[in-house]
Structure 1
């Protein structure tokens, strides 16, 4: 079980809590991008985009590499596995609850069908 209170998990969910940063991660899943390329689709300054990138970097979700004067970003997917594991606990919780509901509804349908058969005689 993944620990509930870890600095890494907190920083991952903080980073994922912003739509701009999630969009940047989605673009990086397609391949490396420069900071300018990541900033381009958004109505923000390069400095503002760099702040978003820094949050992603601090969470370990991306790696920045300097090539001459160009900063190139790469997706680091392993921290997403940590978040996925944590969320998986709740997926199991809801799956179990829905399985119980399914059984109850099937039992109720079966009782209603048996009751109707008894009334038809």
Structure 2
């Protein structure tokens, strides 16, 4: 069974609610997520487990709202690793978050410009 990177039901609900603003929502999520990734990397580079936990928690919420459940789950694990100050594990998780976000970014850009 293949992994579901984005929950179609969540995206459809957002599309229905946001209507014409849906493409802007997608672009905003992508740009905000890129900033959140920078915050994760910076906190990790500074060995700042509190900043890492806060950034992971914030990113987890926005990913969940956008239906990026795998990404949200990775952020939850990262938040817990930061809480336990397990920075070696957190470093591996940040790499996984980056890889998963790369997939999600592509899928969201396809949502913004669907094939006809």
* TM-score of the alignment, normalized to the shorter chain, above 0.5: no
- TM-score scaled to structure 2, two decimals? 0.34
The structure with the greater share of residues assigned to helix is 2
Normalising by structure 1, we get a TM-score of 0.33
Which gives a bigger RCO, structure 1 or 2 (Cα 8 Å, sep 6+)?
A: 2
Greater strand content: 1
Q: Which has the larger radius of gyration?
A: 1
